[in-house]
Amino acid sequence: MDLIPKLPVAEWIDAATKWTTNTFGFLFDFIKNDFGDFIEIVAEDWLMAIPIWLFIVIVGVLAFIASGKRLGLTAFSVIGLWFISNQELWEELMNTFTLVIFASLISVIIGVPFGIWMAKSRTVEKILTPVLDFMQTMPAFVYLIPAVAFFSIGMVPGVFASVIFATPPTVRFTNLGIRQVSHELIEASDSFGTTGTQKLFKVQLPMAKKTIMAGINQTVMLALSMVVIASMIGAKGLGQTVITGLQRAEVGTGFVAGLGIVILAIIIDRFTQNLNTQRGEQ
């Protein structure tokens, strides 16, 4: 016989979720409707309005510039995007690309300030570190529960779950990069009478840029890794095609869509890595 009765943790979380949904329902509805409509406009109207051949050419040119005028990334990007188009998965690619871009941007917008805050305060670092540990160790599927509770199904809850899962690397690497700036540079800037803001934007962030970009790269990759999981709650894209192939036991369909995700992941990863390398060499 248990000496301590079972703690009603599940009931507490259910009550907290219901209170949050009822109290901030107007905000969740606004985000779901307006932000959701904007995401669909970007994916289905703006990106799909660009001719496929033109989009591939633009990505190829950007890959050529980002890679330092090397042909490897350029050729892979062009051939990979052409393959996805050839498999009639272009619309799904645009939806996936939109989800990753929005989730990554929101994660960076949230993550960089929190990383700076952690670097400036030991107390904040001690508080946020276990929170970040929790966010990174919690199974990704669990994030779908509050996403659906707050935003129902669709692209918005997919972005929400991706943001929770993908934000920690940007926070951690921003904190790490700023803390690694040499004390000599900090002392030199102090001797010139710089303010805290000037020291942050003219010394610490420029010197930590390479580390921060590495964190952003990880954030983008984690956001992309959520594509298939987010499709389980209605997020459109290549992940939805993978789930469809799984449900219908269509191995070929799921494999081709998964290959499309791999191609997109490699392109984005090489882009961010090359940008980071170039910036670090300047």
pLDDT in tens, 222-270: 998 888 888 888 888 888 888 888 888 888 888 999 999 999 999 988 8
Residue 78 domain-assigned (yes or no): no
pLDDT at 282: 45
Q: Which helix (H) or strand (E) holds 274?
A: helix 251-281
Q: Is the whole model's pTM more than 0.85, yes or no?
A: yes
- What is the per-residue pLDDT across 4-51, written as a single tens digit (0 to 9) for each? 777 788 888 888 888 888 888 888 888 888 888 888 888 888 888 899
More confident residue, 53 or 188: 53
Count CA atoms closer than 13 A to 38's CA, side-chain side: 8
Residue 143 domain-assigned (yes or no): yes
Residue 118 domain-assigned (yes or no): yes
* Mean pLDDT, range 178-187, rounded to an integer: 86
- What is the per-residue pLDDT across 51-97, written as a single tens digit (0 to 9) for each? 999 999 999 999 888 877 788 888 999 999 999 999 999 999 999 99
**Residue 206 pLDDT > 60:** yes
Residue 182 DSSP SS3: coil
Residue 200 domain-assigned (yes or no): yes
Rg (CA), the chain: 22
Cα–Cα distance, 47 to 97 (Å, whole number):
10
- What is the per-residue pLDDT across 106-162, written as a single tens digit (0 to 9) for each? 999 999 999 999 998 899 999 999 999 988 888 888 888 888 888 888 888 889 888
- Cβ atoms 97, 264 nearer than 8 A: yes
pLDDT at 278: 56
Cα–Cα distance, 241 to 5 (Å, whole number):
46
Q: What sign has the CA pseudo-torsion 149, 152, 157, 160?
A: negative
Residue 66 domain-assigned (yes or no): no
**Residue 276 pLDDT > 80:** no
Q: What sign has the CA pseudo-torsion 9, 12, 16, 22?
A: positive
Residue 75 domain-assigned (yes or no): no
* Mean pLDDT, range 174-179, rounded to an integer: 92
What's the structural domain count of the chain? 1
**Residue 174 pLDDT > 50:** yes
Lookup result for tokens 């509805």: 29
Which domain range does residue 101 map to? 9-49+87-281
| Confidence class for position 3, pLDDT limits 50, 70, 90 | low
* Mean pLDDT, range 266-280, rounded to an integer: 76
Other beta carbons within 10 angstroms of residue 173's beta carbon come to 24
Residue 168 domain-assigned (yes or no): yes
Q: What is the CATH number of the domain that holds 188?
A: 1.10.3720.10
Residue 180 domain-assigned (yes or no): yes
